Amino acid sequence: MFSSIAPLARLNPFYAPHFQLVQDGVRKRAETAEAPTTRRSLAAASAAEEYSCEYGSLKFYALCGVGGVLSCGLTHTAVVPLDLVKCRMQVDPQKYKSIFNGFSVTVKEDGVRGLAKGWAPTFIGYSLQGLCKFGFYEVFKILYGNMLGEENAYLWRTSLYLAASASAEFFADIALAPMEAAKVRIQTQPGYANTLRQAVPKMFGEEGIWAFYKGVAPLWMRQIPYTMMKFACFERTVEALYKYVVPKPRSECTKGEQLVVTFVAGYIAGVFCAIVSHPADSVVSVLNKEKGSSASQVLMRLGFKGVWKGLFARIIMIGTLTALQWFIYDSVKVYFRLPRPPPPEMPESLKKKLGLTE
């Protein structure tokens, strides 16, 4: 009975661990008996591979934050032209009818330089967001994992990834909100401001500090589901690729091969990220353009069809972005020789409880 249910259950990222244990147990018993391999502790691995710091140390978190700054700041700035057209399609679909039409109209009105509008708040805002997103994710993943204990952290690892990423994104969006508000004003309101230095004092003079944080709630609506999908889907995709696709264990792969797996898993995660977060992204774009509107008012006015405007552009942008972000982030870890734990394995204590070891 479970042999037919288990494969279906594993497709669900929220599946109960019971099915996994049953399936793992059947598979393990079917394999030829092997001498039990003790899971290497990260401290031992650190010594063996000459890591630059200990896993979970302040230096580790700080360098992970640096990786986040580079991965998010550089990639989001690189796709500013596409982001600009996407935002304009969301707030003025009558004028900007498609991606190609949007580029054409923008270049005709503002020249090629007009495609770079909003690059400064994009770089600053998403660098700060990346610092908090990746740095705090590592903090919360270790914190929540320790609270659960080794066995439960393995059994409920998808829920662990979801909780850690949601917690990290909560703080990351507070850091991003002011620059995101300025970016949208610059990109979607012709004549309002051409630079960050022009936009900030003008926004503050009109609405005070509220101008920079009125979009934080819809930003949470957009970014928290996005980030939960980004991290949980990535982690489980990496695990699946090494288990079912890559023909050799991760420990036998070169650093280059590991980074290729990272890029592929990142792109797959990015496609799902774009879909789940797009409606809220449309609300944020319109909300930051208009004065005095609330998120619920904008949502009702856009309707179901309106919130999906610009989805294709966002899938291209976010899929590529997410893949590059994970690639850059993992490359930074390799460069600084940070501990990079392998895909999770069932703890020995749990194997003994299930009778999977002699």
pLDDT in tens, 109-155: 889 988 988 899 999 999 999 999 999 999 999 999 999 999 999 99
Whether pLDDT at 174 is above 60: yes
Q: What is the pTM of this model?
A: 0.76
Residue with the bigger pLDDT between 43 and 261: it is 261
Rounded Cα distance between 84 and 348, Å, is 51
> For 321-337, what is the mean pLDDT?
94
pLDDT interval class at 35 (50, 70, 90): very low
- Residues 87, 104: Cα–Cα separation, whole Å: 15
Q: How confident is the model at residue 358 (pLDDT cuts 50, 70, 90)?
A: low
pLDDT greater than 90 at residue 177:
yes
3-class DSSP state for residue 115? helix
Q: Which helix or strand (DSSP H or E) is residue 52 part of?
A: none
Predicted local distance difference test score (pLDDT) of residue 94: 86
CATH 1.50.40.10 matches 53-213: yes
pLDDT for the residue 31: 42
Over residues 229-250, the pLDDT tens digits come to 999 999 999 999 999 999 888 8
pLDDT reading at 19 higher than 80: no
What the block records as the tokens of 292 is 């005095």
How do residues 76-98 score in pLDDT, each as one tens digit?
Answer: 999 899 888 888 887 888 888 88
Instruction: Give the pLDDT score at 296.
Output: 79
How much of the chain, in percent, has pLDDT values that exceed 90? 46
Helices (H), the chain: 2-10, 17-30, 42-49, 58-78, 80-91, 99-110, 119-148, 150-155, 157-188, 196-207, 210-213, 216-240, 255-289, 295-306, 311-335, 348-353
Predicted confidence band at 207 (pLDDT cuts at 50, 70, 90)? confident
Nearest to 343 by CA among 242, 232, 266, 228: 242
Q: Where are the domains of the chain?
A: 53-213, 224-339
Give the separation between CA 133 and CA 119, rounded to whole angstroms.
20
